[in-house]
Structure 1
Amino acid sequence: MDLVTATADHVRAQCEGESSGHDWWHIHRVWRSAHALCDAETGADRTVVELAALLHDIADAKFHDGDETIGAKTAAAWLRSLGAPEETVRRVAEIVANVSYKGAGVADKVTSLEQRIVQDADRLDAIGAIGIGRAFAYGGWDNRQMHVPGEEPVLHATTEAYRAAKGTTINHFHEKLLLLGDRMTTDAGRRLAAERIAYMEAFLERFHAEWEGQA
């Protein structure tokens, strides 16, 4: 059985039509970006990268009462159902457990080259033009206000504080999205992130100018 093809079909069936910005097409873009980053890096296990990219959002903690273990457990259960080698299951589950952003004050736990690639691919999809669109899609889905003048961003010190926060979508740019450029760990990821961060900064400048009636 082709593990990657079976997993892509499974994830698409699970996530197609999702409206918060964590849909199949988000996963497909991350999968595609992970391919490109894998080509730019040497020594990565492509099968592990592809499986982890496909499964990284299969059970995101923010949609499961903050359970930080459910993604890895769900990914592992799926791969075992396909008869995947246990070492592959372990490595993919480890990436899924550690790939997500957990707050400005929470350091990333980097476990492997494969995790660095999948994490950068996922974070690239959170920034730039698509990142802007996804931010507002999620904000609407989660009943967040777009912008409240005078409400300052919070740089959350713990995962618990980050998960519990209900700040505005504009503040989310400062609490997460604009910080991701400095958290990229591959050379290609850093190059792409720099362009996308600059695009978001220009968008925010224009947003605030229009908000104030100056543009």
Structure 2
Amino acid sequence: MNIDTKHKRIIEIVQDKLTCSAHNLDHVFRVYNLCLLLSKHEKDVDLEVLIPSALLHDIARVEESEDKTGEIDHAILGCKIAEDILRKLEYEEEQIKKIKHCIMTHRFRTGNEPNTIEAKILFDSDKLDVIGACGIARTFMLSGQFGQRLTVNESLDNYLNANTVENGRIKDVSKHTPFIEYEVKFKKIPDKLYTKKAREIGKIRLEFMKEYFNRLKLEIQGIE
């Protein structure tokens, strides 16, 4: 099976698997495109590892979103699901190992650090897609999907104690809000990126997002 056929088959599997709005195939392709962009600014990037990693990185997102306990980590579960897919597509064991590392380390909350250039690029690309204009759109897609309120009348500390578990994973997504996501996650992203190009893009995107949320807060309060 040639590499193009493998990629097409992975896309078919991912499209069938990902039904939640903000982590659907559109998100996967945006991350994929960002991976290709960032890879042009780095040396010795193995695209045969990076591309399937990008396509499969959120393969277990639905399971995590439907879990009310906060115990399922889609990065960890995604490694197991991806391994089965990659074996059936006859990927080499060393490639599978490297792809699993990329998937395992692509999110903040796993506690696992990316230590290959492919894993760092995937991490950066996935984080860039949650800030800026795309990030705002995705946040409110999720907010609508899970019936979140626009704001919540409790302190951030109280919310975090009541609705998050170890490593900051959310128990009940319906109790989350776009403003909380901005405060606890989005603000921190540019400083946590690994590649120079991603940090440059991240600062621009976050500035746009900051302006939006500041304006939204004023409008909610009836201030013009």
TM-score by length of 1: 0.89
Tell me the matched-pair count. Answer: 209
Q: Deviations over 1:91-137 (max 9, x none)?
A: 111111121121xxx75512211110001011111110110111111
Q: Which amino acid aligns with 1:67?
A: I
SS of the aligned residue for 2:40 comes to: helix
Kept in 1, the 8 Å contact 2:131–2:206? The answer is yes
Could you tell me which amino acid in structure 2 is paired with residue 63 of structure 1? S
Q: How many angstroms apart in 2 are the aligned matches of 1:22 and 1:176?
A: 17
> C-alpha deviations, 1:62-90, integer Å up to 9, x for none?
23633333100001110000111011111
Which ranges of structure 2 fall in alignment gaps of 5 or more residues? none
Mapped contact 2:101–2:114 kept (Cα < 8 A): no
- RMSD of the TM alignment (CA)? 2.1
Cross-structure match for 2:65: 63
**Do the aligned residues in 2 keep the contact of 1:53 with 1:118 (CA within 8 Å)?**
yes
Which position in structure 1 is the counterpart of 2:170? 163
Assess if the C-alpha contact under 8 Å between 2:165 and 2:171 holds in 1.
no
Q: TM-score, normalised by structure 2?
A: 0.85
Report percent identity of matched pairs: 25
Structure-2 separation of matches of 1:143 and 1:27: 23
Q: Is 1:50 matched up with 2:58?
A: no
Q: What is residue 33 of structure 2 aligned with on the other side?
A: 32
**Cα distance, 1:138 vs. partner?**
1.1
Q: Distance in 2 between matches of 1:163 and 1:112?
A: 28
Q: What letter matches 1:191 in structure 2?
A: E
Q: Contact 1:11/1:58 (CA < 8 Å) preserved in 2? A: yes
The equivalent residue for 1:130 is 134
Counterpart in the other structure of 1:12 = 15
Matched to 2:106, the amino acid is V
Distance 1:163 1:97 in 2: 18
For residues 1-215 of structure 1, the aligned pairs below 5 Å read 1=1, 2=3, 3-15=6-18, 18-60=19-61, 62-63=64-65, 65=67, 66-68=71-73, 69-102=76-109, 109-152=113-156, 154=160, 158-159=166-167, 161-164=168-171, 166-215=175-224
The Cα of 1:167 is off from its aligned counterpart by 2.9
Q: Does the Cα contact within 8 Å between 1:100 and 1:119 map onto a contact in 2?
A: yes
Structure 1 residue 139, shift from structure 2 partner: 1.8
C-alpha separation between the residues in 2 aligned to 1:158 and 1:189? 28
CA displacement at 1:145 relative to structure 2: 1.5
Aligned-residue offset at 1:142: 2.2
C-alpha contact 1:62 1:163 (8 A) present in aligned 2: no
Does the 8 Å CA contact 1:19/1:137 hold for their aligned counterparts?
A: no
1:31 Cα offset (Å): 0.4
Deviation readout 1:146-188 (Å, 9 max, x if unpaired): 11245326497832x4232633221111111111111110011
Mapped to 2, the partners of 1:10 and 1:32 lie a distance apart of 19
Measure, in 2, the Cα distance between the counterparts of 1:167 and 1:13: 27
Amino acid at match of 2:72: D
